[in-house]
Amino acid sequence: MVVRVETKDDLAVVTIDNPPVNAASQAVRAGLLAAIAETEANTTAKAVILCAEGRTFTAGADVREFDKQPMPPHLPDVIQAIEDTTKPWIAALHGSVLGGGLEIALGCSHRVALRSTRFGLPEVTLGLIPGAGGTVRLPRLIDPLEALNMVTSGKPISAATALNLGLIDDIADGDVMACAIALARKTANARTRTALRHRDAKPVEDPAAWEAAKTRIISKARGALAPVAAARAVQTALDLPADQAQIQEREAFLTLKSDPQSAALRYIFFAERSASKLPELKGVEPHQLTSIGVIGGGTMGAGIAAACLLAGLPVTLAERDEAARSAGQLRITAILENSRKRGLIDQGKLDALTAALSTTTTFEALTETDLIIEAVFEDMDVKTQVLQELDKHIRRDAILASNTSYLDINAMAARTKHPERVIGLHFFSPAHIMKLVEVIIPDEAAPSVVAAGFALARKLGKIAVPASVCDGFIGNRIMSAYRRECEYMVEDGALPWDVDRAMRDFGFPMGVFEMQDLAGLDIRWAKRKSQAATRDPAQRYVHIADKLCEARRFGRKTGQGWYDYAGGKTTPSQWVENLVLAESARKKIARTPISDAEIVQRILSTMQAEAQALLTEGIARRPEGIDVVMVNGYGFPRWCGGPMFLKNHPSVD
């Protein structure tokens, strides 16, 4: 039974039991309707407690049903039936009360929750808006501005915030059922609270802040439909009576559900969860991970160390000398302190995490560590030397991971004593924030070592995508290919800002040239110079970036790059334009204008061709993995699904 009803003294307890996340599937909806009928008819029960089995209360609609014909009973009707009961319904909440789960809780008369519970309306992340009264009931319960933020951002809030906002009635520190029962005893017999559907919306306290928030949401959407529709729905919920607003909400939900953007977002949701599931690792027990070593306390190493600490893993940071050790330690504690300032951890937790960090200048301190990640300078010899040195000190069963973005980990592993214990973990910067990790699987790696790489990623709350060894793995290799294509376009007729504008209009947060200016042009220049001797002379080569570097235009940090940054403003550079025109002329290229649509098409085709090559070579396992990498690591607009999704669904673009 996915929904069961039990009578406990003078209370009825309705339990949803639909693992893994108690999604509000058709069976759950039907079960709830039956439970309503049963509890209304039950003359002993004076109040009803609604709860769920397992790790969470209902985490939303069953997303897999969205591709099928909708099946009654529909969630809005079920929630309305809960709201219309004669008895109080107390939602006893835990886990992730999301989407339809929160909408069900809003239909109840009271809500109590475990302190660890999170509440959210994440529908926008799936290209949708709440479709069962969420946009209508929420601003009738909490400040409309807070409701607007929740509905349009999709971001969850904590139980403490929910209590502050008036979203829940109480927090339980130990037993949520005991808390719900106590409340039920107080409220038993009659439903005295007015159902949210029959209340007026709360007033907007600050109309200017309200309008500003809506404007910000629309401008941040960059082409995504759902956040804009979500803002509109909350406005409608304030302007119209609840029943009418809910009809409009449902219509908007159904329209969005059949839009290609939502199909793309649903695809990427499941792709993120399936990307790390490798058939060959089924049943493989990963190495135990109870402590982590990080070599190098620069930006990357500090971010990785902080991510591990925040996930509850003690970290030993090793640096080459005292000054670097102390700087690395400072970087890590600054990240942790920032997490405290942002309310992600409290002072007690900060103290505990700081105590879980030890720092050293010798590798002897790593003899008992389970997995050591080197995050030193991106140079084959430097990294290999570090791994070889670690070989002398660490346990035989410890794992060595290299955080490299391009290098040949097969060659690196071959120069260590035990290649089978070497893997690559390509983190993205800042590593404590970016969700993506490419798990690079060298040819000799033992399955339990690879499984440990994925287990670590999961523990860190990251999305892990497997890749085999090649220059740049999945993401950087595709990125190199399309950056090259963008440079060809600049020689052929576009200007850098034309390319950037087309990319931004397509949905990237920034264009490829702006991004280079932000990252600094000098590192790639050094790499190009080191590869100059081995470069295929027959391959087309664009010299413009080299000439920028020769003129010391390294990007934002030098005030000039592809753009000028004088006075804190970003402006297209006449100097760069002259250089571009001169280079085209020098190569006798007849420049012809390239439209924004053609720019985007050339970028997409290049990405897709490189992605296909990665699949053919076996570097990437599945197209889904490639899309997950491009969406989570390279700013590819999520609502377009990724380059491979677009190849099969061109209507999204």
Question: What tokens does 408 get?
Answer: 């040949």
Spot the catalytic one: 83, 103, 146, 374: 103
Distances (CA, A) of 452 to 345, 372, 638: 27, 12, 28
Please state, in angstroms and rounded to a whole number, the distance separating the CA atoms of residues 109 and 258.
33
Q: Which stretch binds ligand COA (CB under 6 A): 94-102, 421-429, 571-579, 600-608?
A: 94-102
CB 94 within 8 A of CB 117: yes
Q: Which is nearer to ligand COA, 98 or 228 (CB)?
A: 98
**113 binds ligand COA, rule: CB under 6 A:** no
Please state, in angstroms and rounded to a whole number, the distance separating the CA atoms of residues 44 and 9.
8
Please state, in angstroms and rounded to a whole number, the distance separating the CA atoms of residues 432 and 461.
10
Q: Which is nearer to ligand COA, 23 or 390 (CB)?
A: 23
Please state, in angstroms and rounded to a whole number, the distance separating the CA atoms of residues 257 and 70.
11
Spot the catalytic one: 40, 83, 123, 272: 123
Binding map of ligand COA across residues 361-390, x = CB under 6 A, - = no contact: ------------------------------
Q: How far is the CB of 67 from ligand COA (least distance, A)?
A: 11
User: 189: how many CB neighbours lie within 10 A of its CB?
Assistant: 11
Please state, in angstroms and rounded to a whole number, the distance separating the CA atoms of residues 545 and 519.
14
CB 473 within 8 A of CB 619: yes
**63 binds ligand COA, rule: CB under 6 A:** yes
Q: How far is the CB of 33 from ligand COA (least distance, A)?
A: 20
**45 binds ligand COA, rule: CB under 6 A:** no
**122 binds ligand COA, rule: CB under 6 A:** yes
**233 binds ligand COA, rule: CB under 6 A:** no
DSSP 312: T
Binding map of ligand COA across residues 497-526, x = CB under 6 A, - = no contact: ------------------------------
Q: Which is nearer to ligand COA, 59 or 599 (CB)?
A: 59
Question: What tokens does 591 get?
Answer: 């420049």
Q: How far is the CB of 401 from ligand COA (least distance, A)?
A: 23
| 123 counts as catalytic | yes
Q: How far is the CB of 100 from ligand COA (least distance, A)?
A: 6
Which residues in 168-181 are b (16+ Cβ under 10 Å) and which e? Answer: bbbbbeeebbebbb
**96 binds ligand COA, rule: CB under 6 A:** yes
Binding map of ligand COA across residues 240-279, x = CB under 6 A, - = no contact: ------------------------------x--x------
| 6 counts as catalytic | no
Please state, in angstroms and rounded to a whole number, the distance separating the CA atoms of residues 462 and 118.
19
Q: How many residues in the shown chain lie near ligand COA by CB under 6 A?
A: 19
**23 binds ligand COA, rule: CB under 6 A:** yes
| Cα dihedral 477/479/480/484 (nearest 10) | 140
**155 binds ligand COA, rule: CB under 6 A:** no
Among 2, 12, 21, 28, binds ligand COA (CB under 6 A): 21
What is the rounded radius of gyration, in angstroms, for the C-alpha atoms of the chain? Answer: 28
Q: How far is the CB of 216 from ligand COA (least distance, A)?
A: 23
What is the number of alpha carbons within 13 Å of residue 534 lying toward its C-beta? 4
Q: Which is nearer to ligand COA, 131 or 623 (CB)?
A: 131
Please state, in angstroms and rounded to a whole number, the distance separating the CA atoms of residues 448 and 530.
36
DSSP 175: -
Q: What is the DSSP string of 329-349?
A: HHHHHHHHHHHHHTTSS-HHH
What is the contact surface with ligand COA in residues (CB under 6 A)? Answer: 20-21, 23, 56, 59-64, 96, 98-99, 122-123, 126, 128, 270, 273
Residues recognised as catalytic? 103, 123
